[in-house]
Amino acid sequence: MPKTSFLNPFKAIKYLFEKPQTLKYPFETKEIADRYRGFHKNDWDKCTGCGNCADICPNKAITMVEIPELPNKPEEGKKNKRPQLDYGRCCFCGLCVDICPPGSLTLTKDFLHIHFDKKTFTFIPKDEKLNKETYKAEKEYSIFTASLSQRKEYYDGFSPDIRYALFKPDRIEMPEIEPDERKLSFIEQVIGYDKEQAKEEAGRCLECKLCEEACPAHLKISDYIDAIYRDDPKESLEIIYEDNPIPSICGRICMAHCEDACSLHIRGDSLAIRWLKRYAADQIKNFKEELELKPGKPTGKKVAIIGAGPSGLSLAYFLRLQGHDVVVYDELSGGGGIIRIGPPTYRLPLDAIDKDVQYIESLGVKFKFNTKVGRDIGFEKLLNDYNAVFMGIGNTISFSTRVKNSEKCTLALDFLKDNKIGKQRKVTKNIIIIGGGNVAMDVARESIRLQHIQFPEQQVITKIVSLEGWDQLPATKTEIEEAKEEGIRFNPSWGPKEVVLDDDGNIRGLLCKKVKSVFDEQGRFSPTFYENEEKFLEGTMIIEAIGQRADFSFLPEKLFKRLEFTDRKKIKVDANGMTSIPGVFAGGDIVNINMDAVTAIADAKVAAEGINKFLNYD
Amino acid sequence: MRELELFFGPQHLGMVGNFSITLKVEGDRILKADANPGFLHRGFEKLMENRTWMQNFPLVCRINVVEPDHMELIYSMAVEKLAGIEVPERGKFIRSIYCEMARVGSHLFGLWAYANMLGFDTVAHWAMYHRDLLLDLFEELTGARVYHIYLRPGGVRRDFPDGFTDRLVETLHKIGGKVPDYNATFFENSIFKKRAEGIGTVTREEAIRMGAVGHTIKATGMKYDIRKIEPYDAYDQVDFDIPVRTGGDAYSRLLTIRDDMIESVHMIFKLIDKMPKSGEVYTKTPNPFKWTIPEGEAYVRCESSRGELGLYIVSNGGEKPYRVHFNTPSYNHGLTVLEKALVGESVSDVGNIMISLYVVAPEIDR
Instruction: Look at A157 and B143 and tell me if their CB atoms are within 8 Å.
Output: yes
Residues of B in contact with A203 (CB under 8 A): 286-287, 290
> Smallest CA–CA separation between A106 and chain B, in Å?
12
> Smallest CA–CA separation between A4 and chain B, in Å?
4
Q: Which of B75, B259, B290 to mutate to probe the A interface, most A CBs <10 Å? A: B290
Instruction: Look at A4 and B190 and tell me if their CB atoms are within 8 Å.
Output: yes
Query: pLDDT tens, A46-93?
Result: 899 898 999 999 999 999 999 898 888 888 888 889 999 999 899 999
Percentage of chain B modeled with pLDDT above 90: 28
Which member of A9, A34, A58 has the closest CB to residue B185? A9
Contact B90, B165 (CB under 8 A): no
Contact B6, B22 (CB under 8 A): yes
Flag whether pLDDT at A260 surpasses 70.
yes
CATH of A400-546, one of 3.40.1350.10, 3.65.10.10, 3.30.365.10, 3.50.50.60: 3.50.50.60
Q: Is B190 on the interface with A (CB under 8 A)?
A: yes
Instruction: Look at B185 and A229 and tell me if their CB atoms are within 8 Å.
Output: no
How high is the pLDDT of residue B311?
92
Flag whether pLDDT at A469 surpasses 90.
no
Minimum Cα–Cα distance from A107: chain B residue: B143
Apex A251 CA angle, A245 and A254, nearest 5: 90
**Mean pLDDT of the residues in chain A:** 88
Helix or strand holding residue A136 (H, E): strand A135-136
Q: Please give the full DSSP string across A429-440, using - where no structure is assigned.
A: SEEEEE--SHHH
Enumerate residues 198 to 237 of chain A having a beta carbon within 8 A of any beta carbon in chain B: 203-207, 226, 229
Q: Is B193 on the interface with A (CB under 8 A)?
A: yes
Q: Is B198 on the interface with A (CB under 8 A)?
A: no
With 0-12 CB in 10 A as exposed, 13-18 as middle and 19+ as buried, what is B297? middle
- Is the bond preceding residue A456 a cis peptide, omega within 30 degrees? no
> Smallest CA–CA separation between B143 and chain A, in Å?
4
> Smallest CA–CA separation between B239 and chain A, in Å?
25
Cα–Cα dist B134/B178, whole Å: 14
Query: pLDDT tens, A397-430?
Result: 888 888 888 888 888 888 888 888 878 888 888 8
Select from A490, A542, A489, A481 the least CA-distant residue to A511: A542
What integer is the mean pLDDT of B98-119?
Answer: 89
How high is the pLDDT of residue A53?
92
Residues of A in contact with B181 (CB under 8 A): 11-12
Q: Is A20 on the interface with B (CB under 8 A)?
A: no
Which member of B139, B140, B189 has the closest CB to residue A4? B189
Cα–Cα dist A336/A339, whole Å: 5
Which member of B56, B149, B187 has the closest CB to residue A2? B187
- Cα B210 to chain centroid distance, Å, stands at 19
Q: Is B184 on the interface with A (CB under 8 A)?
A: yes
Minimum Cα–Cα distance from A22: chain B residue: B129
pLDDT-based confidence at residue B264 (cuts at 50, 70, 90): very high
CATH for A179-290? 1.10.1060.10
Residues of A in contact with B284 (CB under 8 A): 168
pLDDT-based confidence at residue B77 (cuts at 50, 70, 90): very high
Q: Is A93 on the interface with B (CB under 8 A)?
A: yes
Any alpha helices (H) in A363-476, and if so which ranges?
Answer: 379-385, 412-421, 438-454
> What does the domain layout of chain A look like in residue ranges?
22-166, 179-290, 302-396+549-614, 400-546
Query: pLDDT tens, A106-127?
Result: 999 988 888 898 888 998 888 8
Cα–Cα dist A40/A121, whole Å: 12
Cα–Cα dist A433/A415, whole Å: 12
> Smallest CA–CA separation between B304 and chain A, in Å?
22
Flag whether pLDDT at B181 surpasses 70.
yes
Q: Is A35 on the interface with B (CB under 8 A)?
A: yes
Contact A545, A527 (CB under 8 A): no
Select from B303, B300, B302 the least CA-distant residue to B313: B300
3-state secondary structure (DSSP) of residue B324:
strand
pLDDT-based confidence at residue B300 (cuts at 50, 70, 90): very high
Residues of B in contact with A93 (CB under 8 A): 58, 149
pLDDT-based confidence at residue B75 (cuts at 50, 70, 90): very high
Minimum Cα–Cα distance from A203: chain B residue: B287
Any idea which fold A302-396+549-614 has?
Answer: FAD/NAD(P)-binding domain (3.50.50)
Query: pLDDT tens, B145-155?
Result: 889 999 989 88
What integer is the mean pLDDT of B306-313?
Answer: 91
> Smallest CA–CA separation between B301 and chain A, in Å?
25
Instruction: Look at A226 and B54 and tell me if their CB atoms are within 8 Å.
Output: no
Instruction: Look at B282 and A164 and tell me if their CB atoms are within 8 Å.
Output: yes
Minimum Cα–Cα distance from B120: chain A residue: A9
Apex A158 CA angle, A84 and B272, nearest 5: 150
Minimum Cα–Cα distance from A230: chain B residue: B290
Contact B132, B44 (CB under 8 A): no
Cα–Cα dist B146/B135, whole Å: 7
Query: pLDDT tens, B27-60?
Result: 888 898 888 888 888 888 999 999 999 999 888 9
Contact A241, B325 (CB under 8 A): no
Percentage of chain A modeled with pLDDT above 70: 100
Q: Is B22 on the interface with A (CB under 8 A)?
A: no
> Smallest CA–CA separation between A229 and chain B, in Å?
9
Instruction: Look at A164 and B55 and tell me if their CB atoms are within 8 Å.
Output: no
How high is the pLDDT of residue A1?
67
Q: Which of B50, B139, B280 to mutate to probe the A interface, most A CBs <10 Å? A: B139
Give the bridge partners for B300, in sequence order: B311
Residue A319 falls in which region: left (phi positive, over 0), alpha (psi -120 to 50) or beta: alpha
How high is the pLDDT of residue A617?
56
B275: CATH: 1.10.645.10
Instruction: Look at B144 and A36 and tell me if their CB atoms are within 8 Å.
Output: yes
Phi, psi of A388 (to 5 degrees): -155, 155
Contact B272, A189 (CB under 8 A): no
Kindly state the greatest CA–CA separation across chain A.
121
Flag whether pLDDT at B169 surpasses 70.
yes
pLDDT-based confidence at residue A287 (cuts at 50, 70, 90): confident
Which member of B58, B149, B287 has the closest CB to residue A167? B287
Instruction: Look at A92 and B144 and tell me if their CB atoms are within 8 Å.
Output: yes
How high is the pLDDT of residue B349?
86
Cα–Cα dist B57/B76, whole Å: 8
How high is the pLDDT of residue B1?
67
Q: Is A58 on the interface with B (CB under 8 A)?
A: yes
Cα–Cα dist A490/A470, whole Å: 9
Any idea which fold A22-166 has?
Answer: Alpha-Beta Plaits (3.30.70)
Query: pLDDT tens, A517-538?
Result: 888 888 778 888 888 888 888 8
Minimum Cα–Cα distance from B61: chain A residue: A93
Any alpha helices (H) in A422-524, and if so which ranges?
Answer: 438-454, 477-485
Same fold, A302-396+549-614 and A400-546: yes
- Residues 6+ positions from A334 with CB-CB distance below 8 Å: A308, A340, A350, A353, A354, A357, A369, A421
Flag whether pLDDT at B194 surpasses 60.
yes
| Gyration radius (Cα) of chain A, Å | 31
What integer is the mean pLDDT of A553-580?
Answer: 87
For chain B, the domain total comes to: 1
Q: Write out the residue range of the structural domain in which residue B266 sits.
A: 3-364
Residues of A in contact with B143 (CB under 8 A): 33, 35-37, 94, 107, 157-158
